[in-house]
Structure 1
Amino acid sequence: MTGRFREIYADTGDGGVQLGAAADRWHLYEDHVHLSPHHTEGQLVRFDAELLPFVDNLNRGALVVVDMQNDFCAPGGWTDRSGLDYRACRAAIPGVRRAIEAARRHDMFVIWVYWHNRPDLRNLGAPTLFSFKHRRDQRGIGEELDNGSVLTAGSWGAETVDELKIHMRDDDIHVEKVRMSGFYGTHLDQVLRTQGVQTLFVCGVNADQCVSTTLEDAYFRDYNAVLIADATATSSPAYCKDAVVFNTKQCWGFVTTSDRFADPRPYRPRSGN
């Protein structure tokens, strides 16, 4: 490795500038960002995205599907019983399905991240419990609804919606979480690092809560974070998702769509890359 690869903002020699150093470097050009100029194995492709298209190896990516569970997305679930718009969450299902199908074609891992709380709720502290129970008569995590206890391991509400459950495979990765972020207190980071995954294509619900915190934690850990916008939804007001989309493309990474994720273009490296 030459000294140039350790220099932040080094000239790449082919019209770009280096971001980062050594094995974690990116190359920034006028019309795209190359996320893996140092990886020569696998298929290099270019994804259309905002703020800029990006280039990466398909074998470094994984699809992360967040909280597509009955309690959020099904009639009779927690969101529905709370008087929120569960149909808004269901709007993510077609995009998630397209993203899963695309990830299979790309030979990427599909990672299912979801709430599976202990029945005794010993994994949850008061601040987290209060986030979802602001009134005495409001049903919180672990409390009983017609179809069982809210977001509790083994309950109907914690199961993946039927429309997506049929797309699960035995070799998919399942990550049970007990906070909004898919990283906090889970083995997600360890799995990604041991499998050589660096770029996360993230989708699911709720955009402004579990999806955004997972994206942020990925960004904080120097993963390449990509939001699949049309495969992401929320029962919150529309401006909440708008803020997540804005912050993702301005701060945390990139924003794309399920169609763009499904149809990247082959990339020919520039001379000097």
Structure 2
Amino acid sequence: MAILGDKNESRGDAPVVAGHDQSNSWSFTPTTGWDLTRTTNPSTTSSSSSRITLETTTTPITIDPSKSALVIIDMQNFFLSSALGNAKGEGHAAEAALLTSAIPAATQAGIQVIHITWGISDDELAVLPPILDRIFGFDIDAAKPNANDRERKMPRGIGHPMGTVTLADGAQVDAGRLLMRDQWNTELSDALLQDFEASQNSTKPHVRFHKNRISGLWAGGSTPFREYLKENGITTLLFSGVNTDQCVLGTLQDASNQGFDAVLLRDGCGTTSPGFASEAVGFNCRRIWGFVSSCGALVEG
């Protein structure tokens, strides 16, 4: 194999290696794309089930399901439930794509499904940085013509009681404290909660981790999510969830910077931001953070 930068790297279809540590490297050929499985000799793998190939917006990638995880970020009532005023949008389309395509495909391939969700404890609340109070406690709109109206304190913020809300069937429920752990507003959306609970009787149950920052892999400490990935030898992360340009992006960037393979499933993500925000995420993801694929590609892989 040639090494990137080697004068022989472009000869024919000989694999080119990216990475200086043989145990943590990729290989590339123009016809097969990038191999992310970290196997020094792909021909020695025990079966085709240990390698699947996904189409991306640039070149195919081959991954090892046993070293991969489908990461679903913030698909919670707070962001999706109509009871909290969330209109049908990209997040709901992403939820449907996950339930009908990505999750079944991941399960069939043996890829671990991981939910990362807001769920702040009281101890964590006491030391949260002020930016989070601004994000979730202020109405921010730079487009307003009056400068005095561009940032306004809202009646509640993180940790404040949200009160009673009325569900689609007319039932009423206490929404709980905003973004705090074990509250209705931080529970998975109904459909994903049912899917999560059903998985607990399977051979590879879905797992869930709480986060207390925009990123689920922020570098300020060793998160349970990061420790789980390391302990289970997971190196490739397929990202989905809401919002594409916020918590999904924040976690994806940190994952890439920490050495994980980052793959964005574009139809498994959604946002309430303007379209250019997702376009920028996709543009930079395929160029500098990793790859852009889709739930459909996972089904076909």
The TM-score, its normalising length taken from structure 1, stands at 0.86
Unaligned runs of 5+ in 1: 265-273
Which of 214, 239, 244 is matched with 2:281 structurally?
Answer: 244
How many aligned residue pairs are there? 255
Match of 1:270 in 2: none
Q: How does 1:156-175 map to 2 (within 5 A)?
A: 156-168=184-196, 169-170=199-200, 171-175=205-209
Q: How does 1:89-104 map to 2 (within 5 A)?
A: 89-97=91-99, 98-104=101-107
Structure 1 residue ranges, 4+ long, deviating more than 6 angstroms after superposition: none
Q: How does 1:160-199 map to 2 (within 5 A)?
A: 160-168=188-196, 169-170=199-200, 171-184=205-218, 185=221, 186-199=223-236
Asked which structure has the greater CA Rg, the reply is: 2
Match of 1:155 in 2: 183
State the identity as a percent: 29
Specify the SS of the correspondent of 1:157.
Answer: helix
Tell me if the contact between 2:90 and 2:269 (Cα under 8 Å) persists in the aligned partners: no
Cα offset, 1:110, TM superposition: 0.8
Specify the SS of the correspondent of 2:156.
Answer: coil
Supply the distance in 2 between the matched residues of 1:58 and 1:154 (Cα, whole angstroms): 31
The residue type equivalent to 1:33 in the other structure is W
Cα offset, 1:9, TM superposition: 4.0
- RMSD between aligned alpha carbons? 2.1
Tell me if the contact between 1:140 and 1:150 (Cα under 8 Å) persists in the aligned partners: yes
Residue-by-residue CA offset, 1:197-248 (whole Å, 9 max, x unaligned) = 1110110001111100111011001111111110100111121112111111
Supply the distance in 2 between the matched residues of 1:85 and 1:132 (Cα, whole angstroms): 18
The TM-score, its normalising length taken from structure 2, stands at 0.78
Tell me if the contact between 1:72 and 1:86 (Cα under 8 Å) persists in the aligned partners: no
* Residues 137 and 56 of structure 1: CA distance in aligned 2, closer, same or farther (over 3 Å): closer
Q: How does 1:198-217 map to 2 (within 5 A)?
A: 198-217=235-254
Match of 1:15 in 2: 14
The residue type equivalent to 2:207 in the other structure is I
Tell me if the contact between 1:202 and 1:225 (Cα under 8 Å) persists in the aligned partners: yes
Match of 1:129 in 2: 133
Unaligned runs of 5+ in 2: 139-151, 164-174
Match of 1:57 in 2: 64
Supply the distance in 2 between the matched residues of 1:109 and 1:88 (Cα, whole angstroms): 24
Cα offset, 1:251, TM superposition: 1.1
* Residues 66 and 259 of structure 1: CA distance in aligned 2, closer, same or farther (over 3 Å): same
Cα offset, 1:25, TM superposition: 1.3
Specify the SS of the correspondent of 2:59.
Answer: coil
Specify the SS of the correspondent of 1:227.
Answer: strand
Cα offset, 1:119, TM superposition: 4.3
Cα offset, 1:72, TM superposition: 0.4
Residue-by-residue CA offset, 1:136-164 (whole Å, 9 max, x unaligned) = 23532222223222111121110000011
Asked if 1:48 is matched to 2:52, the reply is no
